[in-house]
């Protein structure tokens, strides 16, 4: 009467506990297998982003580590024999390796090259794709298959009978992203023995100890509950639990279910956090605006806090945007994200120093003025030298009540804030690079690229309102003498001062740029004709009247300038700048220190000048220049005492070109030294011939430019 109920209770307890433990073990294996599959998918996505970023690089210049073990550019004939599974028609993912070889996972990008279509094949590094060789399943193994091809087995293969294993299969659909067949993740690991080792003791112990039935029942129940309590403890440790159980939770099976639920919740939170961090990293790699990165962070915090008003404030030490506030508001059915006003009315006190724990405040600022809030919880992250990042969460309830029910730790916020700091740093670096690409490093004025980018907007505005504007091309006179006389360092100081005076003289509206060397360009939007441009020219000349003092030296700087008016003197940026340049050269050839307006005949003069320069270069290269020798005679004796070598140019089409014309041209275009070297070479050769002919010339003079 006592033994049978005890045995029945024992059997029912054993059966229910074993079933619950087996179910929990299968669910745990499913979670681990699914997590491993999703992590492999995330690594494939990361590898594809890296491969796409290298489209502009040659394969041998591509640095794919640690994502790729090999990156090559192959033709169709080279790639086709290597493919074991997959298609190269539209790129995507293929499996490489012939029968008998280990399969290799590769990403294919179709690229257009001058010599035809090629395929950029990036073989993904197995250590990166599959992760730790010990495997994601403790004591078990995961095998990944694509169709009938086994790609990889990670972990240790259990060497026990199949009925003593727990199995799980997860199908990963990758066709939408990579155009390949699905991958099957097949996981297995040994079952826990649980209580089976004790089952054989029930009958003999029950039959042999009838007189001790109550004691036997007590012992057997204890032998069941001790391993069950150990299992509950292990699950709690995996799940990160450890809180004391309430009275109603003392039941072991309820505790087991509670521990597993807690573990699953924590794993889900961690997976959500990892996905958020991955999304942020992708935005940083793609150089997306900072507000997109901040919005992802605020969206993640909102999903945890369920708050209708969130904000992130970023304070840097320098810059025009030293403090920026990003606000996310949920009003009704609409959610808006924008850069706005400070959500806290504390005059920046909460952004002055970092605070490692959540704090509460009732100082609600204009950034949260659109919603009714009772308080704000905030956390400020950052080193003492900055930057500081403050996260503010508003709620209709009190801020302290929000903190009591919110599971968002300061460590999680710090990890998200670090990503925002990286994105802000990358944005600042890119801004500096853009500024450096469009500005002169010496004077910080816009450069030629910035002018060419800005002129189309001036043209568009002028066309829209039927207006004109002027371009004033400035070239400093004889600045080369200053550069050569005092050196580049002092000459740069003079250039900086000239730039400052020009900028101050024309006012804030005109565009002032340094094109290079001693050349400047001024775009005057409200100068409808040459008269307005001449007025700006006079303002600049007036600003440069007083000498520039550098140390104990004074420099008087003047300039030549040319004016071109849109649309009369040019309909596009290039023609406007070119024609203003031509007008400037007309002014410089007129003696300098003057300004000339563009005239249409200057184009023909410039064309003739350019052709003459081209012909002169050809004449020097082909030795078309030759020397005439003018003798020097002693008037007393009538004997020749020397000669002077004179350069002459017989143009094949224009005939004889006068020395004063081509010598001046050579000085302007920098060919005078080559002509001097040619004259010396020919004169020495002629003198040697005369000497061989017993014609002795005491002296031969050759004029060269210094």
Alpha-carbon distance 278 to 546, whole Å? Answer: 61
What is the three-class DSSP state of 310?
Answer: strand
Q: Please report, for the chain, how many H helices and E strands are present, in that order.
A: 19, 26
Beta carbons of 387 and 290 less than 8 angstroms apart: no
Residue with tokens 């490489």: 96
480-to-411, 484, 518, 613 alpha-carbon distances in Å: 61, 6, 9, 21
DSSP codes joined into one string, 12-63: HHHHHHHHHHHHHHHHHHHHHHHHHHHHHHHHHHHHHHHHHHTTTS-GGG--
484 catalytic per annotation = no
What is the three-class DSSP state of 118?
Answer: strand
Alpha-carbon distance 532 to 109, whole Å? Answer: 57
Neighbours of 238 (CB within 10 A): 16
Residue 334: exposed, middle, or buried by beta-carbon count in 10 A (0-12, 13-18, 19+)?
Answer: exposed
- Degrees (nearest 5) of the Cα angle 576, 577, 582? 100
Alpha-carbon distance 167 to 186, whole Å? Answer: 7
Structure tokens at 706: 């210094």
Phi then psi dihedrals of residue 406, to 5 deg: -90, 135
159-185 burial by CB neighbour count: b if 16+ within 10 A, else e?
eeeeeeebebebebebeeebbbbebbb
Beta carbons of 624 and 649 less than 8 angstroms apart: yes
In residues, how long is the chain? 706
Secondary structure element (H or E) that encloses residue 108, with its range: strand 104-113
Phi then psi dihedrals of residue 136, to 5 deg: -80, -15
Contacts of 19 (CB under 8 A, 6+ apart): none
Alpha-carbon distance 286 to 147, whole Å? Answer: 33
515-to-58, 474, 489, 537 alpha-carbon distances in Å: 33, 10, 19, 17
Alpha-carbon distance 253 to 20, whole Å? Answer: 8
Beta carbons of 102 and 119 less than 8 angstroms apart: no
- From 295, 342, 518, 581, the catalytic residue: 518
Residue with tokens 């290079």: 516
Side-chain half-sphere exposure of 611, counting CA atoms within 13 A:
9
DSSP codes joined into one string, 552-574: TEEE---EEEEEEEETTT-SSHH
- Name which of 659, 658, 629, 656 is nearest 644 in CA terms: 629
- Name which of 445, 468, 617 is nearest 531 in CA terms: 468
Catalytic residues: 518
């Amino acid at each position: 009467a006592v033994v049978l109920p005890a045995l029945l209770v024992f059997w029912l307890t054993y059966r229910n506990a074993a079933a619950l433990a087996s179910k929990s073990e299968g669910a745990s294996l499913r979670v681990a297998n699914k997590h491993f599959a999703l992590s492999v998918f995330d690594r494939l996505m990361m590898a594809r982003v890296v491969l796409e970023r290298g489209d502009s690089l040659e394969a041998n210049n591509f640095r794919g580590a640690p994502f790729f073990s090999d990156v090559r550019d192959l033709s169709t004939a080279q790639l086709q024999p290597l493919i074991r599974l997959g298609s190269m028609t539209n790129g995507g993912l293929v499996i490489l390796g012939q029968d008998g070889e280990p399969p290799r996972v590769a990403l294919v990008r179709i690229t257009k090259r001058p010599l035809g279509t090629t395929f950029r094949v990036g073989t993904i590094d197995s250590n990166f794709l599959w992760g730790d060789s010990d495997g994601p399943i403790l004591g078990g193994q995961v095998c990944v298959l694509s169709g009938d091809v086994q790609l990889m087995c990670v972990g240790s293969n259990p060497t026990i009978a199949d009925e003593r294993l727990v199995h799980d299969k997860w199908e990963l659909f990758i066709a939408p992203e990579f155009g390949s067949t699905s991958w099957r993740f097949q996981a297995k690991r040994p079952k826990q023995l649980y209580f089976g080792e004790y089952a054989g003791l029930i009958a003999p112990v029950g039959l042999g100890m009838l007189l001790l039935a109550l004691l036997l029942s007590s012992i057997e129940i204890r032998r069941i509950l001790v391993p069950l309590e150990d299992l509950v403890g292990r699950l709690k440790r995996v799940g990160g639990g450890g809180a004391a159980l309430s009275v109603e939770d003392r039941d072991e099976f309820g505790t087991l279910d509670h521990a597993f639920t807690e573990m699953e919740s924590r794993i889900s939170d961690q997976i959500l956090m990892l996905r958020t961090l991955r999304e942020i990293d992708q935005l940083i790699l793609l150089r997306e605006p900072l507000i997109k990165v901040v919005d992802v962070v605020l969206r993640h915090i909102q999903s945890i806090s369920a708050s209708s008003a969130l904000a992130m404030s970023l304070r840097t030490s320098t810059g025009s945007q030293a403090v920026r506030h990003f606000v996310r508001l949920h009003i009704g059915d609409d959610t808006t994200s924008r850069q706005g006003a400070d959500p806290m009315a504390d005059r920046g006190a909460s952004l002055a120093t970092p605070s490692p724990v959540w704090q509460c405040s009732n100082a609600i600022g204009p950034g949260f003025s659109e919603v009714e809030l009772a308080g704000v919880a905030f956390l400020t992250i950052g080193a003492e030298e900055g930057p500081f990042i403050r996260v503010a969460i508003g709620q209709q309830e009190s801020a302290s009540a929000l903190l009591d029910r919110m599971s968002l730790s300061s460590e999680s916020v710090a990890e998200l804030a670090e990503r925002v700091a990286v994105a802000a740093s990358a944005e600042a670096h890119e801004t500096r690079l853009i500024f450096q690409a469009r500005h002169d490093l010496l004077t910080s004025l816009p450069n030629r690229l910035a002018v060419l980018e800005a002129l189309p907007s001036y043209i568009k505005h002028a066309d829209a309102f039927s207006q004109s504007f002027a371009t004033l091309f400035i070239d400093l006179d004889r600045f080369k003498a200053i550069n050569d006389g005092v050196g580049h360092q002092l000459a740069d100081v003079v250039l900086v001062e000239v730039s400052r005076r020009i900028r101050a003289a024309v006012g804030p509206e005109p565009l002032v740029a340094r094109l290079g060397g001693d050349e400047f360009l001024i775009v005057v939007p409200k100068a409808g004709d040459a008269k307005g441009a001449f007025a700006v020219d006079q303002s600049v000349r007036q600003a440069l009247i007083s000498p520039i003092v550098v140390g104990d030296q004074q420099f008087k700087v003047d300039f030549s300038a040319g004016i071109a008016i849109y649309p009369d003197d040019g309909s596009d940026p290039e023609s406007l700048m070119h024609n203003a340049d031509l007008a400037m050269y007309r002014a410089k050839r007129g003696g300098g220190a003057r300004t000339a307006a563009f005239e249409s005949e200057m184009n023909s003069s410039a064309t003739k000048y350019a052709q003459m320069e081209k012909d002169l270069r050809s004449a020097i290269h082909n030795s078309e220049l030759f020397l005439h020798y003018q003798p020097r005679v002693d008037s007393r004796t009538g004997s020749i005492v020397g000669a002077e070598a004179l350069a002459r140019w017989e143009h094949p089409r224009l005939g004889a070109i006068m020395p004063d014309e081509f010598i001046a041209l050579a000085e302007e275009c920098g060919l005078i030294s080559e002509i001097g070297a040619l004259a010396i070479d020919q004169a020495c050769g002629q003198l040697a011939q005369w000497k061989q002919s017993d014609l002795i010339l005491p002296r031969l003079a050759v004029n060269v430019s210094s």
